[in-house]
Structure 1
Amino acid sequence: MPRIRRTTAAALAATAAISLLATACTGSAGDAAPDDPKARTTLTFWHGWSAPSEVAAIEANIRSFEAKHPNITVKTVKGITDDKLNQALRAGGSQAPDVVSSFTTDNVGRFCTTGALADLKPFLDKSGIDPAATFLPQMAKYTEHEGKRCAVPLLGDAYGLYYNKKAFAEAGITAPPKTLSEFDAVAEKLTKRKGDTYEQLGFMPNFQGYETTFEHYASQFGVRYFDADGKSALAGDPAVKALFTWQKKLADRLGGYERLERFRASLGDEWGPKHPFHTGQVAMQLDGEWRGKMASDAELDFEIGAAPFPVPDDQADQYGKGYLSGTILGIARVSEKQNAAWELVKYLSTDTDAVVSFANAIHNVPSTQAALKSPDLGDDPLYRTFVSIAQHPGSSHAPSSVNGGAFLLTAQDLGVRWEAGREKDLDAGLRKADAQVDKDNEQAR
């Protein structure tokens, strides 16, 4: 399932809504849950999946859980947005969910610090589950904040490079690029200009393009984001300046910001069959593991390949890594059925058959070590490329923050101003971004 990117305003609204939970949630995260998990009860599970195939897949796992726990009935509510989730967690009451999932991995820091989701450590300890050994290390890392675990991963996403094999062959390109200098040359070679637009664009580098965000690029550069004291480190991190410099140079090389933006505005929807990679308008695409299935469903008239996204030339030994994200799963702090809720969370997130079947059904990357090694995991070569990216030790997600993903939006907004030429002094822009991030984080504490 792709994590559909939100607008800046919507993302900030979601973060603000979570912050209100700090005054609404009461009690210690370490409180003992009073309910008997063996008693007959009904749990409410809210999730964001909405496509028929996705809903059918999660429902199949719920039915399997109920067969193993006949005393527990699960009522699912699909298509839940983070805004609705935040409101329910804040309000509590009989209509609030017991178990929740979210696609917004960036909000883990806020969920943990506000108490919106229960501390899972007592439950994990009681069940003898070591998150570091059970889950993929990088996914275990992005589901906790400052040592507090309020969520576990439920499948994940890995990002890499899709490429049009027909376009490669016509251009005499025999293999996907591994370094950014190679990538830039390939992107230019694949670009076919047509007047003030393009017949074919090698790659759309703009920060407002499909999945070409600052956060997704940053994993390839090894951006640090914060220093040892928790202060924003954008201006002092050479990787950040290298990222912005590379991106703008590539955009200029491919025709310039304005030409690229005009072309971008003419492209089809990211989630529909007219995606520009599907139509051949863009020859290479930064995207997640779901794109392979979507391309197959679109019945393209050319073969596609997948590989890790290239890395900076001075990090060539890190080739194979990529950006990671995924669904998070937790127990509502306001739930009065936390022991029963834990049984559902534990099953969905750690039962190997459940994780593998769900990963295969919705074409996501498994989040447990056992599921990744399962012989039943899908063996499609495109999909397996992303499974490998997810397991690379250099693959990463941005660090959790007390202010959710607001710091990422600040960096993204700077990137848009920089590529458009509205930010003339990059160093000054980075310093202003640092000041803004630190101010936002201080206000969120």
Structure 2
Amino acid sequence: MHTRRHLIAVLAAASLALTACGDGDGGGSNDGKIAGDITVLTQRTDLVDTVLPEYKKKFEAKYPGTNVKFEAITDYEGEVRVRMNTKNYGDVLPIPNSVTADQLPLFFEPLGTVDELKDKYRFVRSEQTFGGKVYGLAITGNAQGYVFNKKVWTQAGITTPPKTPEEFLDALKAIKEKTGVIPLYTNYKDGWPLGQWEGVRGAVSGDPDAAIKLAKEDAPWTPGKEQYIIDSLLYDAVKGGYSEPDPTTTNWEQSKGLLGTGKIATMMLGSWSVVQMQAAAASKDDIGYWPFPSQVNGKFYTVVGGDYKNGINVNSKNKATARAWVDWFANESNYATDQGGVSPVISAQLPASLADLQAAKTEFIELNPAPKGEEGLADKIGNTAEIALFDGKYRQRIVDAARGAKKETKEQIFADLNKKWADTRAKLK
């Protein structure tokens, strides 16, 4: 099971029915005492029998008389979306991505205001917030760049991160010629990994307002613009013969072993991927993580954003214990760092898995919240135009054209994307 954040902004057809049962009081709150049972939903089916029981033990030791029950769900987004049409969706749960900002108060208990929480926690200024209130604390956070097999890159003679798309392509060429290893794996068949390329939006420009500005663009796929730079690099890498020979047969689970053991060299994924690749490698030191090959005034940037956010079911009968769990998980469990992620607690140290980013003097930035009324506008334009930026489907078209499976040029695709984007933007104004 992959553990990336499902960054997909779900299309309107899949959005939650607004027949929410939440009326805001959620029944009893166990008289405010931290005691009794809570059910915690999780998408981490791979950790429910290993890591999570240790957390249960520590939490229950801190709060005697509590009992935490985990419920792991494989099709997390799909199943929980259905369950949220009832009151029965656990006490604490990762907030599904299909919940739009304006729906948060219908389903989740506010944890405090942005002003109250922003100095202690990352990701609360613009993620899972509405009306100045915060509805979830990140389980972990991710930096954006690419994961690579350090042994393979070193064998090809590359020991410092490429600074431009051209240098990156030269590195892929050297890997192919000197090692025979597949330089770049797209994970085309699963689709969602191609959406991970969108995560570097803001890193290319070093601009925290990147998403806000994208929503104001009529032609994002124009030379010099971030979308053009990101998608051109994908096209050019595939066109150059640096990706897997048959992308229609890629396999996500297998790819972790292939990168870990040096059969493939590179994947454009969030930093959440590092720990999983290390688990498949002979040595953790074989796996590295570098920033997107683009600099602004001689400096690399990476965007850090929150993964799933723990929220409290507005209908929970034990909100006091649910809140204690959310706070304990963020502040004391060490889950984020253990999983190679960025802690939601601002004062926490960065994990060892991001040492390569730090060594490259990469600046970590968070994207700024959009002005009121423009929240999620770029994603809304993309979804409506059928160019969902984070789901990878339109990038499959780019890969198909680059490998010769479709008779389209890069310029034709980008012109079509610009037209769809501009037309949709005009309608949504």
* Aligned residue type for 2:166: S
Once the two structures are superposed, the pairs formed by residues 76-115 of structure 1 within 5 Å of their partners are: 76-79=70-73, 81-92=76-87, 95-102=88-95, 106-107=97-98, 109-110=100-101, 112-113=103-104, 115=106
In structure 1, what is the Cα distance between the partners aligned to 2:315 and 2:203? 39
Higher helix content, 1 or 2: 1
User: How many pairs does the alignment contain?
Assistant: 406
Q: Which residue of 2 aligns with 1:171?
A: 156
Code of the aligned partner of 1:394: I
Q: CA deviation at 1:77?
A: 1.0
Change (3 A) 1:174 1:152: closer
Cα distance 1:119–1:23, how it changes in 2: closer, same or farther (>3 A)?
same
Aligned mate of 1:334, from 296, 311, 315: 315
Q: Taking every aligned residue pair, what percent have the same amino acid on both sides?
A: 16
Cα deviation, 1:43-88, whole Å, max 9, x if unaligned, reads 2211111114x54322322222222222432222123512222222
| Residue equivalent to 2:365 | 394
CA distance in structure 2 between the aligned counterparts of 1:261 and 1:36, rounded to whole angstroms: 58
1:192 paired with 2:183, answer: no
Matched position secondary structure for 1:43: strand
2:38 equivalent to 1:61: no
Structure 1 residues 46, 89: CA separation in 2 closer, same or farther (over 3 Å shift)?
A: same
> Is the contact between residue 36 and residue 67 of structure 2 (CA under 8 Å) also seen in structure 1?
yes
* 1:21-32 aligned within 5 A: 22-27=18-23
Q: 1:324 aligns with which of 293, 305, 326?
A: 305
Displacement of 1:437 after TM fit? 6.7
Q: Is 1:312–2:300 an aligned residue pair?
A: no
Alpha-carbon distance in structure 1 between the residues aligned to 2:236 and 2:344: 39
Q: Distance in 2 between matches of 1:67 and 1:277?
A: 40
1:361 CA displacement = 3.9
Between the aligned partners of 1:359 and 1:219, the Cα distance in structure 2 is: 23
- Give the SS at the match of 1:77: strand
Residue type at the aligned position of 2:53: E
Distance 1:204 1:306, change over 3 A: same
Q: Structure 1 residue 118 and structure 2 residue 109: aligned?
A: yes
The answer to whether the 8 A contact 1:220-1:311 is kept is no
Determine the structure 2 residue equivalent to 1:367. 344
Give 2:414's match in structure 1, choosing from 386, 408, 426.
Answer: 426
Partner of 1:134: 120
The answer to whether the aligner puts 1:224 opposite 2:210 as a matched pair is: yes
Unaligned runs of 5+ in 2: 402-407
Alpha-carbon distance, 1:254 to partner: 4.1
* Alignment match, 1:50: 45
Say which SS state the counterpart of residue 70 (structure 2) adopts: strand
Q: CA deviation at 1:176?
A: 2.0
- 1:56 counterpart letter in structure 2: T
The one-letter code matched in structure 1 to 2:64 is P
1:19 equivalent in alignment to 2:16: yes
Aligned to 1:321, the other structure's residue is in SS state: strand
Segment drifting more, 426-435 vs 385-394: 385-394
Superposition deviation, residue 189 in structure 1: 2.4
Alpha-carbon distance in structure 2 between the residues aligned to 1:250 and 1:212: 12
Matched position secondary structure for 1:293 = helix
Is the 1:201–1:282 contact (alpha carbons within 8 Å) kept by the matching residues of 2? yes
Shift of 1:270: 2.3
Structure 1 residue 385, shift from structure 2 partner:
4.0
Q: CA deviation at 1:89?
A: 2.2
Q: Given the alignment of the two structures, is residue 286 of structure 1 paired with residue 268 of structure 2, yes or no?
A: yes
Measure how far apart 1:261 and its partner are: 6.5
Q: Distance in 2 between matches of 1:239 and 1:118?
A: 43
Q: Deviations over 1:78-104 (max 9, x none)?
A: 235122222222211xx43111124x5
Q: Which deviations, in whole Å up to 9, do the C-alpha atoms of 1:343-385 show, x marking residues without a partner? A: 2222222x3x32x2x2354333321123327xxxx6x4x3444
- The equivalent of 2:225 in structure 1 is 242
1:41 deviation in Å?
Answer: 2.9
Q: Measure, in 1, the Cα distance between the counterparts of 2:90 and 2:223.
A: 40
Contact 1:155–1:366, Cα closer than 8 Å, also in 2: yes
* Structure 1 residue matching 2:246: 3-state secondary structure: helix
Decide whether aligned partners of structure 1 residues 119 and 2 sit closer, same or farther in structure 2, where only a CA change above 3 A counts.
same
Deviates more, 1:405-414 or 1:288-297: 405-414
* Cross-structure match for 2:405: none
Q: Distance in 1 between matches of 2:287 and 2:381?
A: 34
- CA deviation profile, 1:264-308 (whole Å, cap 9, x unmatched): 3344x3234664423434323323444433333324489635243
Helix, strand or coil at the partner of 2:308: strand
Q: Is the 8 A contact 1:234 1:240 kept in 2?
A: no
Query: CA contact under 8 A between 1:108 and 1:144: conserved in structure 2?
Result: no
- Determine the C-alpha separation between the residues in 1 that align with 2:109 and 2:378: 18
Q: Alignment partner of 2:201: what SS?
A: helix
RMSD, aligned CA: 4.3
Q: Residues 293, 345 of structure 1: CA spacing in aligned structure 2 closer, same or farther, 3 A cutoff?
A: closer
Q: CA deviation at 1:434?
A: 4.8
Partners in 1 of 2:53 and 2:102 — Cα distance?
25
Alpha-carbon distance, 1:330 to partner: 0.4
Shift of 1:24: 2.1
Question: How far apart are residue 327 of structure 1 and its match?
Answer: 2.3
